[in-house]
Amino acid sequence: MSKKGKKVITITLLGFLYIVSPIDAHAGWQQTLESNFDIAETFDELKDWGANGLYPSGSGDSRAYDPALLPKKIDGSASRWGYWNNKYPTAIVGAINNGPFQTGETVTNGLGANWEYRQTYVIDGVTYIRLQDAIYGQSVGAFQVGHTIRGLASGATATITAWPKIIADHGTNKWRSEGKSLMMNLGDNDNADGAMAGIGAQRLGMFLGDGATGKSGYKKVHVFMMVKFAPTYFGASGNQADIDYVRVFKFVDVCSGFTRIDEFGTPAEQQFIEQTAQTATEYGANCSVVNVNGGGLSNAGRAWYTEIIATATPTPDIVPPSIQTYYGKSRLPMDMFNNDVAYQSRGADFNTIYDTGKAAGEWIGLEIIMDIGTTNASNGSTELFIYDKQGVVRGHFTATGLSKLVYFDHYYNKITLGGNRRTGPSTSNTDGRYWVDDFIVDDARIGLKYFAALAASQGPVDGVAPSVPTGLSVH
Give me the pLDDT at residue 198, please.
93
CA atoms within 13 A on the CB side of 17: 1
- Sign of the CA dihedral with 347 first, then 350, 354, and 356 last: negative
Partner residues linked to 383 by β-bridges: 369, 398
Helix (H) or strand (E) holding 452: helix 447-458
Using CA atoms, how far apart are residues 159 and 241, in angstroms rounded to an integer? 40
> What pTM, to 2 d.p., does this model score?
0.90
User: Torsion angle of alpha carbons 97, 102, 105, 109, nearest 10°?
Assistant: 20
Give me the pLDDT at residue 318, please.
65
Domains of the chain: 29-52+70-87+168-458 (2.60.120), 88-164 (no CATH)
- Digit-by-digit pLDDT tens for the chain (475 residues) are 445 443 444 444 443 344 444 444 435 999 999 999 999 999 999 999 998 888 887 888 899 999 999 999 999 999 999 999 998 899 999 999 998 999 999 999 998 888 999 999 999 999 999 998 766 655 555 789 999 999 999 999 999 999 999 999 999 999 999 999 999 999 998 888 778 999 999 999 999 999 999 999 999 999 999 999 998 888 877 776 788 888 899 999 999 999 999 999 999 999 999 999 999 999 999 999 999 999 888 888 899 999 999 999 999 876 666 788 999 999 888 999 999 999 988 888 988 887 655 657 899 999 999 999 999 999 999 999 999 999 999 999 999 999 999 999 999 999 999 999 998 877 777 899 999 999 999 999 999 999 999 999 876 555 444 333 334 444 4
Using CA atoms, how far apart are residues 278 and 251, in angstroms rounded to an integer? 17
Give me the pLDDT at residue 119, please.
92
Residue 437: closest CA among 73, 168, 51, 250:
168
Using CA atoms, how far apart are residues 152 and 400, in angstroms rounded to an integer? 59
Residue 130: closest CA among 158, 170, 110:
158
Partner residues linked to 292 by β-bridges: 305
Give me the pLDDT at residue 245, please.
87
**Pure H helices in 220-363:** 267-270
Region for residue 460 given its phi and psi (left: phi exceeds 0; alpha: psi -120 to 50; beta: otherwise): beta
CB atoms within 10 A of CB 320: 7
133 within 8 A of 108, measured Cβ to Cβ: no
Give me the pLDDT at residue 242, please.
80
**3-state DSSP assignment of residue 240:** coil
